[in-house]
Amino acid sequence: MTKIAYLYVFDTMADWEPGFLIAELNSGRYFRKDAEKYIVRTVGLTKESVVTMGGVRILPDVSLEECNAADAGVLILPGGDTWLEDIHVPMMEKVKEFLDAGIFVAAICGATMGLAKAGLLDKRPHTSNDLGYLKAVIPAYTGKAFYRPETAVTDGNLITASGIAPIDFAREVLRELKVFSAETIEAWYQLYITHEAQYFYVLMESLGS
């Protein structure tokens, strides 16, 4: 069975934040031999085209109404400039549905503010771009005791990450989905954060393990 990695797309979406993650999920190039397959599908509030922060126009594969937890492996929420607006309320309802169904929800940067605004971070460990900023822009947020000053945090099937850490975000999600071996994910991560060629060869060798 091939699972779907739903990528939420919307006007002002930060193009680069989910890039490392969706490339690996959709290509499966470094997956364990027995790992479940994934295909990336874009989901919009409607099927109308959206324009990302980088000016890329995307026509969503499915509307929010057609986004189904039954065939999903993960719902990916990138950052963007509009997360404090009510336009994303319908997506937050879908997030609750996915979380209740045991499906992973992975949010980075501004998307964590959307979660906080919806009250979804008040009682579970999480991270964001900065605690002080989170409290300032979302007065109703009461999750201070659960905030972790880390690049990425997993609590059950909710993954949150800072906007300056798209590689850490990808590693966290790939690890939780268990599609890479432990050796592969470590080599993959080290290659991108150190830029040392030796880790490419370690990565290639890990695929035979």
Residue 114 one-letter amino acid: G
In terms of Cβ atoms closer than 10 Å to its own Cβ (0-12, 13-18, 19+), residue 38 is buried
C-alpha distances in angstroms, 47 versus 10, 65, 111? Answer: 10, 10, 20
Can you say how many angstroms the Cα of residue 87 is from the centroid of all Cα atoms in its chain? 19
109 is catalytic: yes
Euclidean distance between CA atoms 46 and 54, whole angstroms? 20
CA–CA gap between residue 80 and residue 87 (Å, rounded): 12
**Catalytic-role residue among 106, 109, 115, 121:** 109
Residues classed as catalytic = 109
